[in-house]
Structure 1
């Protein structure tokens, strides 16, 4: 074995048995990338059912913000579960009100905020879209190519990171127009300022085919996730904010993946000081328990009338307890750890880049990091097969990773990750790169 903590072939015998059981009873639509069958985890470490130990640098797709089974989160969940497991969102309880207070305290709107609590990122996006239509009375939206916002029919209308998610489900929500997301590494437009070029493209649409007076909102990830872990050029989000203000359009930030300390700030938008009107949250908010939130300026959400929007499980006491503990931990030091350790991680990856011409770009903030792999040519041709091979080899070497975009390896470990764990992961990554390149 190429790593001392891997004791069996992968998958091992117990893992293979469980995968076989799964194939008979679970939908094949789940996009499983490699055969990892989890037994338990602590912090950044996880073990499979055959006793093999891995470093988890994908954290349940950026969900396990406080690591696996953080004692403070487990204690909060246990305490809430001992009292009651459910009382519908038609009523009140401490955990739900406390979560609303915590979210209002950190909301980046620059004015008082309110929240609607739900169960997932896609539901948070749906709620944000419904609120935007409700308060503006407008039917249209602007989305961004490469974005991922969920798989329910409203959010799916905006999802465009891969056609796979849309294939077979036409027709989705009408009135959604997609525009490019600025990518300085792979520019679509002439000139150095890709952000301004995209803004100019939107202005052209407003003149020719999309009446801005009919646009309720623009929905964008302030840092794009599934599309390639892209960081927008400076000035772009501020320009988008100004364009929305000019036409009375609401600005919705989807911070489902980038929020809750992931980028070294509580929210990614704070790196540029741009304030949204509405924001969708989920993933890292509950440290693994299913929870989401629509956070909006109070003056907007107050316009919802009784019964205009609701759900059964929103504000569930156990998930809210997990979210409250998570926010306390993130605000209590984990966001600072993400910035510090993330800076070390990015520096180590850029050192690696000097040794491997196939690493075309290293980008990100905090513990939101993308490493784009390319062919050895002047065109920056995406190396999709190499990317898949690196992720697979990393699994066999004891490191859990995921890809995004066309050929980007993304790194999103728990916000509790240490410098020592990053350095251990870097050794596994170097070995995985060597093996993937040798196997071409």
Structure 2
């Protein structure tokens, strides 16, 4: 069954249970309820620039854009946001390639010492790679510190793999890159190749709520479940490896572009989850917000579909079936687009 397969492929060797919903936001809502139920605590820690959904609980965790919250009044009580590691713009990073996660020290040194008792915190909700926040890839130290804090205080780690999971990063789940084993995982988007399905996976000793505590009428509908099983089969038969290989090629080619395009400030990502941050000046790192919008429009007219994320980052997330030749075409189009913008041949 799909539940058995998800229990098998998600990180961790413990016996697991699976809750099925219809979407990513439902998977997160289930994770919040489960964390409260399992711990008897009622507060959560989330991160600035995070996106976890638009229903009441998940929106309370979301801190991506003001428009997503505006007009909806008070949200879920007990959610506190802290900084997420953003190495490209880290004020404390003195040497490239090193990391002293001062942003995470905020949790213990500031939060727990001033306004929040760790004994009240049910879970820390995080994206292994921030999606809407700018395709930000944290350093491995982030996960080491998260694990230390969670184990020290008995706080559950809740991984939102809705966008980063299901082979997108070149592994089945993004947390595998960082040897992180969360307590609860939320999955959706690519799980059923476009059909509505979300899943929340946790060890049986955590997901031990009584029958009827949580449910969804159409959650786990058989059509979506069959699609998910077939999707996983295709992922395991080569699409994950393809994402890793083509993603590596694409990132290498993009860095070559950066050598001759000063508007490219940073390139980051894993597999086929890649962000290209655009700046007006590489030294000051001034955000090129309008250039990003111009790039999306120009690329569209040339046959390349892009999305934005963060304030000034291009999001590259092609289908996992993309090949190296198609990736090269995308790079050539981006080269044209950046050249036009830098020579001001595109209206901003």
Structure 2 unpaired stretches of 5+: none
What is the rounded CA distance, in whole Å, between the counterparts of 2:311 and 2:13 in structure 1? 36
Deviations 1:155-211 (A, max 9, x none): 000111111101111200000000000111001446556562122110021111110
Q: Does the 8 Å contact 1:393/1:436 carry over to 2?
A: no
Partner of 1:314: 219
- Please report how far the alpha carbon of residue 316 of structure 1 lies from its aligned counterpart in structure 2 after TM superposition: 0.5
Is residue 337 from structure 1 mapped to residue 242 from structure 2 by the alignment?
yes
Does residue 355 (structure 1) correspond to residue 233 (structure 2)? The answer is no
Q: What SS does the aligned partner of 1:346 have? A: helix
1:231 to 137, 153, 177: 137
Q: TM-score, normalised by structure 2?
A: 0.96
1:184 aligns with 2:76: no
Pairing 1:208-219 to 2, within 5 Å after superposition: 208-219=114-125
Q: Secondary structure at the match of 2:333?
A: helix
Structure 1 equivalent of residue 70 of structure 2: 167
CA deviation map 1:97-129 (0-9, x unaligned): x11011011011332221101100000000000
Aligned partner of 1:290 in structure 2 is 196
1:250 maps to which residue?
A: 156
Q: Tell whether the 8 Å contact from 1:115 to 1:296 is kept in structure 2 after alignment.
A: yes
User: How many residues align structurally?
Assistant: 342
Q: Indicate the larger mover: 171-180 or 425-434.
A: 425-434
- Match for residue 433 of structure 1? 338
Whether the 8 Å contact between 1:183 and 1:194 is mirrored in structure 2 is no
Moved over 3 A (4+): 188-195
SS at structure 1 position matched to 2:139 = coil
Q: What's the CA shift for 1:342?
A: 0.6
* Larger-Rg structure: 1
Q: Residue 185 of structure 2 corresponds to which residue in structure 1? A: 279
Structure 2 CA distance for partners of 1:264 and 1:380, relative to 1, 3 Å: same
Confirm or deny: 8 A CA contact 1:121 1:150 kept in the other structure. yes
1:2-401 equivalence runs, <5 A: 98-189=1-92, 196-204=101-109, 205-301=111-207, 303-376=208-281, 378-401=283-306
Secondary structure in 1 matching 2:17: strand
Q: Which runs of 5+ in 1 are unaligned?
A: 1-97
Structure 1 CA distance, aligned partners of 2:8 and 2:108? 35
TM value normalised by structure 1: 0.76
> In 2 relative to 1, CA 124–350 (structure 1 residues): closer, same or farther, beyond 3 Å?
same
Of 404, 408, 412, the residue aligned with 2:309 is 404
